[in-house]
Amino acid sequence: METLHLTENDTGPDAVDDVKTVRSDHENKIVIRSVDADSVITYAGSTAASLALTWLVYERFAPFSGTLGFIVVAWLVFVSIVYVSARQQWGRVAARDHFVRLCVTSAALLALIPLGSIVFSVVERGYHGLQVSFLTKTLKAASTQNKFSEGGALHSIVGSFEVVGIAMLISVPLGVMTAVFLNEIGGRLARPVRMLTDAMSAVPSIVAGLFIYAVLIQPGILDAMGFTGALALSILMLPTVTRTTEVVLRLVPGGLREASLALGGSEWNTTRQVVLPTARTGLVTAVVLGVARVVGETAPLIMTMIGAQRLNSNPFSGLQDALPLFIWNQKIHGGLEGVAQEWLWSGACVLLVIVLVLFALARLLASRAGLSRRS
């Protein structure tokens, strides 16, 4: 509902010294309502009618069932009833306006229902994952005969942190440097680089894994280990960091660069001492977004890290596990019932919590950096 405040009280008592005006004691602001009583009644009536009708259809004919089906049918009936009654009351043009408003609003809601369902079902099934035994034990001696509390994802969480950390160390300097190149140095190379950065952000994650496998593992240069997984992740992280950083650098006012150059600063010193520090909050956002992009990534790790059951804290030797691999392997090899399912959802819950925290952090930092746009 939109309320427009039309009156603005900007003439103080001083402004009317010489003109004697009669002032009322209080001013009534005009309240403009976009929703009137008629609409409310129409919508309420339509809701009731559609629910009743759908219930009837479901009970009487029942060719399908399930909550989703009920919602879909009830919605269709609701929209039709609103349209018909609006058309009878207000005519064709207004009815169409109501119809579109309804469709657009439902589209927005439609996007959110699954989000709620995902968060709810993961937390409902996996909240055990947030207990100590799951976070401190590994699957070293795991079998499907184990109890839930006998296994855990410590080895995967450690692996995830190390691998994402290494990916960060590789792609953040490169990404920031590329963004600096695009925004501060420029030149003829900038166009193709920007284009390919865009293209790179669309490279399917599994292709990044295949690439690292084809370059390093297949020819026998390196064995599959945490580090090779990190390399694959940094390919996915690089374009995210580059693009976000470029947006952030563009927000740094040109006047600051001029001021720095006018003081006799070199290009490098201008970038290092003025541009980057001014954009530091945005740079952190870029890093966080990059991490959020890859922390749940599974596909490239299947071929570059493979996974492990026991704790290996050395990313440069031997197989290592990561949280997404833990979930994937429980799903693929764990069977449909029993403890593997519990481990699976617990892992998913831990992963979701990590992602949500990163997301919230990125939002917070972005709003502080003045990045209102999509990053």
Partner 1 sequence: MQYIHVASVPFLDVVESSEQPIAFRTTRGRGDRVYRGFGYGAGWLTLAIMGLIGGFLFYQSLDAFRYEGFTFFTETRWITSVSGGRFGIAAVLLGTVVIAVVALVLAVPTAIGTALFITEYAPKRIRAILTSLVDLLAAVPSLIYGIWGAAVLEGQVVYVSRFLADHFGWFPPFHTTSLAGSKVPTTLTDFTASAFLAGIVVALMILPICTAVMREVFAQAPPGEKEGALALGGTRWGVIRDVVLPFGKGGIIGGAMLGLGRALGETVAVALIISRTTDVHNLLQILKTGGNSIAALIARSWTESQGIASSALMAAGLVLFTVTLIVNAGASFVVSRSRSGAATEI
Partner 2 sequence: MTMVEERVPAAAAPNVASTLNAREVSAWFGSHKVLDRVSLLMRPNEVTALIGPSGCGKSTFLRALNRMHELVPGASLAGTISLDEVDIYRDAVSVTEIRRRIGMVFQKPNPFPAMTVSENVIAGLKLCGLKIDRSTKDDLVAQCLRRAGLWNEVKNRLNDNGGALSGGQQQRLCIARSLAVRPDVLLMDEPCSALDPTSTRRIEETIAELREEITIVIVTHNMQQAQRVSQRCAFFLAGENAPGHIVETGPTEAMFTNPQDQRTLDYVRGRFG
Q: By C-alpha distance, which of 301, 351, 325 is closest to 139?
A: 325
Residue 248 near which of partner 2, partner 1, none (CB within 5-8 Å, type-dependent): none
- Asked whether position 296 contacts partner 1 by CB under 8 A, the answer is yes
Residues in 330-359 that interact with partner 1 by CB under 8 A: 331, 344-345, 348, 351-352, 355-356, 358-359
State the nearest-atom distance from the C-beta of 267 to partner 2, in Å: 8
Among 45, 91, 204, 277, binds partner 2 (CB under 8 A): 277
CB nearer partner 2, residue 165 or residue 265: 265
Residues between 202 and 241 with contacts to partner 1, criterion CB under 8 A: 202-208, 210-211, 214-215, 218, 235, 238
* Of 266, 314, 317, 367, the one binding partner 2 by CB under 8 A: 266
Radius of gyration over every alpha carbon of the chain, rounded to an integer in angstroms: 29
SS3 5: strand
Min CB(303)–partner 2 separation in Å = 43
Q: Least Å distance between CB 269 and partner 2?
A: 5
> Binding partner 2 by CB under 8 A: which of 273, 313, 317, 367?
273
- Let me know if 271 is exposed, middle or buried by CB neighbors in 10 A (0-12, 13-18, 19+): buried
Strand partners, 5: 31
Options 138, 178, 244, 260; binder of partner 2; rule CB under 8 A: 260
276 touches partner 1 by CB under 8 A: no
Q: Which residues contact 156 (CB under 8 A, 6 or more apart)?
A: 321, 322, 323, 325, 326, 347
133, 152 Cβ separation under 8 angstroms: yes
Return the H-helix or E-strand segment holding 256.
helix 254-262
Cβ proximity to partner 2: between 26 and 188 the closer is 188
265 contacts partner 2 (rule: CB under 8 A):
yes
**Binding-site member from 122, 168, 172, 274 for partner 2 (CB under 8 A):** 274
Tokens describing residue 151: 């296994």
Give Cα separations from 187 to 182, 192, 242, 364 (angstroms).
Answer: 8, 10, 17, 34
Q: 263, 357, 360, 364: which one contacts partner 2 (CB under 8 A)? A: 263
**Which pair of structure tokens corresponds to residue 180?**
């600096």
Q: Which two tokens stand for residue 299?
A: 């596909």
222 near 216, Cβ under 8 Å? yes
For partner 2, the binding residues (CB under 8 A) are: 253, 255-256, 258-266, 268-270, 273-274, 277-278, 280
